[in-house]
Amino acid sequence: MTTSGLPVPFLDLKQINAHYREELIAACTRVIDSGWYIAGEELVAFEQEFATYCGVQHCIGVANGLDALTLTLRAWKTLGRLKEGDEVLVPANTYIASILAITENRLVPVLTEPDPRTLNVDPERIEAAVTGRTRAIVPVHLYGRLADMPAIMEIASRRGLLVLEDAAQAHGAGRDGRRAGSWGDAAGFSFYPGKNLGALGDAGAVVTNNTELADRLRALRNYGSHEKYHHDFQGVNSRLDEIQAAMLRVKLRHLDEDIRLRRRVAKAYLDGIACPDIVLPRLADEEWDAHVWHLFVVQSEHRDLLQSHLERSGIGSLIHYPVAPHRQTAYSGYWNEPLPVTEALHRNVLSLPIGPSIGAREIDAVVAACNCFIA
């Protein structure tokens, strides 16, 4: 499936970053001229600014979103909060990273089916999946929509479970004035270039209000060291470098405006697309704060036909995700239970172009192409 070279590409990162070109170049120049490229002032400043944005005390920059999740679970193991073989509940329809972080730590991922209305974890199914060996929940704010955190936190506190939010797609999503990342015991963010807050390379972060966890993560990301050449833990090298921290500081200043622009595209699609073969995401009026539209995902029983129809109309689209984690070769033989909701989703979902730089003419083209789709 082509996504570039079309009149309406699925995502145009060049156009998005061109908008901040002067500021990005100034920030990059500042780092080059500083002569300091790892673990310096830009990182400290970004960590403070992002912690403030999320409404938490600590932010720990790491190399990518997968490491943010993996290292948090690992930190909990070294702190005695988790141990090998503990069960961790995770949505079955997530991106593979949420699950890799669990198995990398020799914990046991227990897949739960999503709520078909929100496509996020279903608190009732979580409750039903808790066993005597369950120790943690990894809710994913899939496609940019905040999971039902009040219900999840209620279950977690009643059952004594840790909660690690996978907030890789949901920077800035909020509910009752509380943003993604501030609900759980910790949250992992990705700043992969295509994410809503995207670096110009790989980057990630953990946010938390727990000082002990933050402290442990600062060591683990840096060779297990708090003090140069003294190693308390068998850590890794997973650092967010100065250039990326400087890029992220620029883009964080514009994040709320970018989210506003994404919501404008989503609203136009929701108001404009009316095709019996396309199921739109459903969102009540009071839920708009909770969704930052990392992806605008529609469903169709004729998804592949819809995708080729859109391509013929010059519109890029992608499938998030074509293969469910439990169907991946990497996990063959790992799970055997049927997951019908998840499997239907992977057959039916299609992501339409969305982003802060999409103009009115492009929105109209997408709406018009969807509305003349006949399966």
Binding site for ligand PLP (CB under 6 A): 64-66, 94-95, 97-98, 140, 166, 168-169, 190, 192, 202, 204
Q: Which is nearer to ligand PLP, 240 or 310 (CB)?
A: 240
Closest by CA to 258, choosing from 145, 357, 361, is: 357
For residue 42, the minimal CB distance to ligand PLP (Å) is: 19
CB of 177 to ligand PLP, least distance (A): 24
Angstrom distance (rounded) from CA 72 to CA 89: 15
Q: Which is nearer to ligand PLP, 266 or 369 (CB)?
A: 266
> Toward ligand PLP, which CB reaches closer, 174 or 188?
188
Rounded to the nearest 10°, the torsion over CA 299, 304, 306, 307 is 100
Q: How far apart are CA 32 and CA 25, in angstroms?
A: 10
14 token code pair: 């060049």
Residue 201 vs 314, nearer CB to ligand PLP:
201
13/367 with CB nearer ligand PLP: 13
Give the β-pairing of 134-137 and 87-91.
Answer: parallel
Rounded CA separation 216/225 (Å): 9
Q: Are 349 and 320 in contact (CB under 8 A)?
A: yes
Is residue 298 classed as helix, strand or coil in its secondary structure? strand
How near is the Cβ of 240 to ligand PLP at its closest, in Å? 11
Helix (H), strand (E), coil (C) string for 128-179: HHCCCCEEEECCECHHHECCCHHHHHHHHHHHCCEEEEECCCCCCCEECCEE
Q: How far is the CB of 215 from ligand PLP (least distance, A)?
A: 23
Q: How far apart, in whole angstroms, are the C-alpha atoms of residue 172 and residue 180?
A: 6
Tokens of 283: 């969102």
* Nearest-CB residue for ligand PLP: 65
Q: Which is nearer to ligand PLP, 63 or 369 (CB)?
A: 63
Q: Which of 184, 364, 185 is nearest to 271 (CA)?
A: 364
- What whole-number distance in Å separates Cα of residue 177 and Cα of residue 187? 17
CA distance 1 to 370: 17
Please state the closest distance from residue 171 (CB atom) to ligand PLP, in A: 11
Nearer to ligand PLP, 98 or 307 (CB): 98
Q: Shortest Cβ distance from residue 372 to ligand PLP (Å)?
A: 32
Kindly report the number of other CB atoms within 10 A of residue 175's CB atom: 18
Nearer to ligand PLP, 24 or 142 (CB): 142
Shortest distance, position 194 Cβ to ligand PLP, whole Å: 8
Nearer to ligand PLP, 138 or 315 (CB): 138
Per DSSP, the three-state class of 24 is helix
Q: How far is the CB of 64 from ligand PLP (least distance, A)?
A: 4
Q: For residue 353, which of 305, 312, 318, 307 has the smallest C-alpha distance?
A: 318
**What minimum distance in Å lies between the beta carbon of 65 and ligand PLP?**
2
Block residue for tokens 């990518």: 64
CA distance 184 to 163: 5
- One-letter amino acid at 373 equals F
